[in-house]
Amino acid sequence: MNLIFYTATRFLHVGTAVVVVGGTFFIRYILLPAAAKNLPDDAHARLRTSLMNSWKKIVHAGIALFLLTGAVNYYRVIADGSHKGDALYHALLGTKIILAMIIFAIASALVGRAPALEQFRRNSRTWLTVNVLLAAMIIGISGFLKVRGPRTLPGAASRPDPAASAEAERD
């Protein structure tokens, strides 16, 4: 049951990243430039308003899913102790979390209506670019952590290699 649950939360986490980061990339590098080039200012403004009203639902749902599935994924790592005492893992995971919170704040400012954050919306190209770059950093860190895997501390019993165990069972 745990395998199915944790696989589902991982799928939701990565799937949410695909939708939100991909959507941000599409808006920044395809939609906004095409609209600015081909639409009169009033039509462009109406499109932007309509787009942001729809996009904010995706952004808010994405943030909620990231927080929920990220917490579950983090709990799994803590519960199984696979990275206990692994300073590099925890430093990079903490960096990832901080970068994600910055992305959430910028994304919320871009889709929000608060007058105090109008400067973000006026400079949306810049802030969408920042979010794409921060997301790329998170993807890089995540990939490194996944490929690196858990580290065994000096003097600790090593964790069995699942591939070696499966091969031993076949013999």
**Which three-class secondary structure string do you get for 37-78?**
HHCCHHHHHHHHHHHHHHHHHHHHHHHHHHHHHHHHHHHHHH
- Residue 106 burial (C-beta neighbours within 10 Å; 0-12, 13-18, 19+): buried
The answer to whether the beta carbons of residues 63 and 108 sit under 8 Å apart is yes
Global pTM value: 0.83
**Domain ranges across the chain:** 2-150
pLDDT in tens, 52-81: 899 999 999 999 999 999 999 999 888 888
Q: Which residue has the higher pLDDT, 154 or 127?
A: 127
d(CA 156, CA 164): 19
Q: What is the pLDDT of residue 133?
A: 98
Mean confidence (pLDDT) of the chain: 89
The answer to whether the beta carbons of residues 132 and 24 sit under 8 Å apart is yes
The answer to whether the beta carbons of residues 108 and 124 sit under 8 Å apart is no
pLDDT in tens, 88-118: 999 999 999 999 999 999 999 999 999 999 9
Q: What is the pLDDT of residue 152?
A: 64
- Which pLDDT band holds residue 168 (cuts at 50, 70, 90)? low
Mean pLDDT of 117-131: 94
